Structure formats: structure tokens, C-alpha cells
Amino acid sequence: MFAKVEKQRNGIELIKIDNQETTIVFSNFGARIISWKYDDNSIVLGNIVEADEFYQANPFKFGATIGRYSGRIADATFELDGKTYTLDQNDGENNIHGGPHGLDTKFFDYEIYEQVGQVKIIFTTIIKSEDDHFPGNIELKVTHTYNVEHKWTVEYEAIATEKTLFNPMNHVYFNLNRDNNIIDNHYISSEKLALYPLGDNNLVSSLDPIDLKACFDTDKIKFKDIFETTHPQLQQQMTRYNGLDHPFDINDGQMTIENKHFLLKVETDMPNVVIFTFNDTSSWQSNFNIYKPHSGFTLETQCIPNDINLEGENAQSIIEANKPFYSKTSYKIFEKEI
């Protein structure tokens, strides 16, 4: 397999990989995935034609690497080893997606490795404490690999100069419908699907999750059935948020999403998956904004948002100085035989 590089304006470079019936495109801007197609069907949201204009002001951060801390941090503040850190408030009073100078805004350096049966792109950058006000700098490597089996793998390797928080993810939105209609007809499954309810401002309010498999008594749960549930606690969540924006516990980091035509298999070593069903698309004032609610869904593999304030020193997002961090998530697409 091989990759082709195309330069756009504003320093944006596209790295295009062709693999028979599938194609995938990444960019140096935010170490993003820009496009993933099965034949002519786009299975992720993005814009390859005008990437140089589309991504810079897009608040939904399609396909971007997010960090150093993916989810919200309540009141943009946390304590670590007795010291209080104050971050930028870029989501009401909270901090989200690592703040306004997060990884999604960075131009990464990269190297392409064409190997037998796969292409690997290693993106590198440095996260500086002076940019995001978390403790310590982090040397970061994000590797995107695409292989002949139509499997996209993202690996994160990081090393910090001080004890800090690190909770990266990729903000890709999927839509497996051939006509790109809303995703309410997709089914999710995993041996475990436990959803953490949200309180005010999209923040996790309880570490006591709702067992969706018990609520629906089925192995594959349709998004529409979640949205239209009559289960009192879940219904209250759906009414409040118009869909999912919730962290899940899943079984062994494995989860499947499917519709009639495609099946997407996710595997991760991160502790949780946040599923966001693009519930309100109105905040992006742009001609590029052609999206209606539920145009896509994310599968954000990460530690539970705000874990540092919920769990203190036990937060899984804490990393020690000079101790290498490694994490891996993969997404594999299958076309169903009908």
C-alpha cells in the first residue's frame, strides 16, 4: 500500500491512502482523519475538497486528535498533588477538548511509512504547559495506521516532563448510512453497555451507571430506541440532551455499531467510550454547516471526563513524569453481504 500527499492552502496537507474498495485521508492539521470511504460511501463526516477552510473554524472538531485532556473539566480547574491548576474556560465555565489551543489546532510534523499490507503515518508534536496551563510538557506521537483489512488504528505515545493529566481521543463522527441520513437507525452492541448519567452542563453527575442492556433486554440496541425510551431516568437524559453525549463502560474495550449495510468494530484499551450523537448542530454559523441533529455519532475512547475532580488521585488520566504512556484504539469496517 502507498500514500499520496496533497498540499492545500494554509499549511494543510492531506495524506491519501487507497486500498481497493476503501480510501482514507489524514491531515497534518490536528493529526486528523478527513475522510474514510467504502466505495462511494463516506462513513465519516468531513470535507476533503475544502479541508483548508472547513476545519479551522469547525467547533465540532471532526476527526481531530483531541488533548491533552479530551472531555470537560468542571469549572476549568483541578487539583493535583495539593496544587490547584486553573485552565481556560472554553465551554461555559468548563474546560473542554484541552482548551482553545488543544491538539486539534496544531500542525503536526509527520513521516509516512509504506509497509507490507499497511501504511503508517507518525505524527509528532509537543504539548506545552504554557499553552494549556496543565502541569508539564508532553512529547507526543500519534500514529495512524491503515491496513489491507480496512482497519484504521490510532496509537498514542506520550512522555511528560512532570506528573500531569493525559486523556487523548479522536473526534471522528461516523455515519454508516449510504444516503447519509440521520444515524437513528444504527444499532450498538457490546457485552456491557453501561451509561453514566449527566447533570448540569454535560458533566457526569453520578458514577453509578444505567445498565442499558437491562433496560432494553436485547443484544443490539437501536439509537432510536434510546432516544425514544420511556425508561424514566434515561428519558430524562434524552429530553435534556436530545441524544447521547455520555460516557459508557463497555466490555473488554470492544463495541460494534451497524446498520443494514455496514458493521464497524471498535477495540480500545482506554477505560471508557463517550458516544456523542451530534445533538445540536446550530452553534456553527457557516455555509459549510449542512448538518442536522444526529447526522453522525462519535466513539470517543477516553477516561471518564472530569475524572480528576470525580476521583482525585485515583483518576485514570494521571500520568507520572518521564513514564511512557501508550494507548491504542482501532476501528474496522465491514461491508455486509445482503
The residue with cell 430524562 is: 236
For residue 106, state whether it binds ligand BGC (rule: CB under 6 A): no
**DSSP run (H or E) holding 14:** strand 13-19
Q: Which of 102, 88, 80 is nearest to 133 (CA)?
A: 88
User: With respect to ligand BGC, which residue has the nearer C-beta, 132 or 245?
Assistant: 245
Do 98 and 70 form a contact (C-beta atoms < 8 A)? Answer: yes
DSSP summary character for residue 223:
H
Nearer CB in complex with ligand BGC: 26/291? 291
Could you tell me the smallest distance in angstroms from the CB atom of residue 302 to ligand BGC?
9
Residue with cell 503536526: 108
- Do 89 and 95 contact (CB within 8 A), yes or no? yes
Q: Is 92 a residue that touches ligand BGC (CB under 6 A)? A: no
> d(Cα 136, Cα 164) in Å, to the nearest integer?
6
Does 166 bind ligand BGC (CB under 6 A)? Our answer is no
Q: Is 199 in the site for ligand BGC (CB under 6 A)?
A: no
Q: Return all residues near 317 (Cβ < 8 A) that are at least 6 apart.
A: 69, 165, 166, 167, 303, 307, 308
Residue 248 interacts with ligand BGC (CB under 6 A)?
no
Distance CA 39, CA 24 (A): 11
Looking at the Cβ atoms of 283 and 287, the one nearer to ligand BGC is 283
Per CB under 6 A, does 144 bind ligand BGC?
Answer: no
Please identify which residue in 22, 202, 277, 295 interacts with ligand BGC, judged by CB under 6 A.
202
Task: Indicate whether 61 belongs to the interface with ligand BGC (CB under 6 A).
Answer: yes
Cα–Cα distance, 17 to 24 (Å, whole number): 5
**Which residue, 204 or 318, has its beta carbon nearer to ligand BGC?**
204
Helix (H) or strand (E) holding 226: helix 223-227
- CB 276 → ligand BGC: shortest distance, Å? 5
Q: Does 104 bind ligand BGC (CB under 6 A)?
A: no
Sign of the CA dihedral running 248, 250, 252, 255? negative
CB 55 within 8 A of CB 49: no
CB of 59 to ligand BGC, least distance (A): 6
Residue with cell 466505495: 39
Nearer to ligand BGC among residue 146 and residue 291 (C-beta): 291
Please give the size of the binding site for ligand BGC, defined by CB under 6 A: 8
Decide if residue 324 touches ligand BGC (CB under 6 A). no
Binds ligand BGC by CB under 6 A, chosen from 245, 271, 275, 291? 245
- Name which of 242 and 254 has its Cβ closer to ligand BGC: 242
Interacting residues with ligand BGC between 21 and 60 (CB under 6 A): 59-60
Binding track, positions 263-302, relative to ligand BGC; x by CB under 6 A: -----------x-x-----------------------x--
The helix or strand, by DSSP H or E, that contains position 267, with its residue range, turns out to be: strand 262-268
Q: Which residues of this chain interact with ligand BGC, rule CB under 6 A?
A: 59-61, 202, 245, 274, 276, 300
